[in-house]
Structure 1
Amino acid sequence: MSAIPGLGSGGGIQQILQLRQQIISRNDLLRELHTAPGTDAANPVGGAQQPAGGFASSLQNALNGVSAVQQKSEDLSVAYEKGEVTDVAKVMLARQEAGVAFEATLQVRNKLLSAYQDIMRMGV
């Protein structure tokens, strides 16, 4: 079996294990964010207890979260370009996270627009 180029016998494996651990911890953090109380807009019981602005505030919180993820990604990218951050995996992960958040937001927007158009087409 040949060795993978660029990886030493012990240092490369340690780096891979550290990257794996970082990915797992980020995944756990994302899972916590998605299951955090107050961000579940699909919960009908929570929606019934909130005032009429509950949906709007939930949507605003979600958009603020996406904006924060994108800003963090931009900050890490700029820091990497300046040489302040040397962990390219961290930068790439932040950019992917921002891309996924934006894509999810775009899909939600498309669904809301489609629902609005369906409602407008309904006869009275």
Structure 2
Amino acid sequence: MFCRINLNLGSISPVYFNLRSFVTTQAHYLNQKYRKEKGLPLNPNTSSILTNTPDYTFLNGSLAPLGVGQQRRILREKEVVKQIVSLSKEIDFAVYRHEQLQRDAENQKKEILSKKLKPKGYTLLKQS
């Protein structure tokens, strides 16, 4: 957002100022404690109806093309979804493997005990 401001500096060409550098962000003036208590995002421009919906609609009901920011957000969200799915698969595998290792250790202990504890004496003669 540029604004042309003519400063009467004689023979010097007009100067362009970036208005964004002069306008401070609203995040400094917003009550961040209130936003945290209400469960709102710290930056109100990151997620809202205005940022997540199309800028306009057609009267016949057809979809409006996505904006550049919306496409970027959608791609970013798809990447996050892929990462969540892969990490949840890793967690499921780790839980399954841990359970399997526990079962194997338990079976090994039972096998060792079954080999060690054999009937002796009168009970051995009584079984056969």
Which of 1 and 2 has greater Rg?
A: 2
The structure whose residues are more often helix, as a share, is: 1
Which structure ranks higher in relative contact order (CA pairs < 8 Å, sequence separation ≥ 6)?
Answer: 1
The TM-score, its normalising length taken from structure 1, stands at 0.31
The TM-score, its normalising length taken from structure 2, stands at 0.30
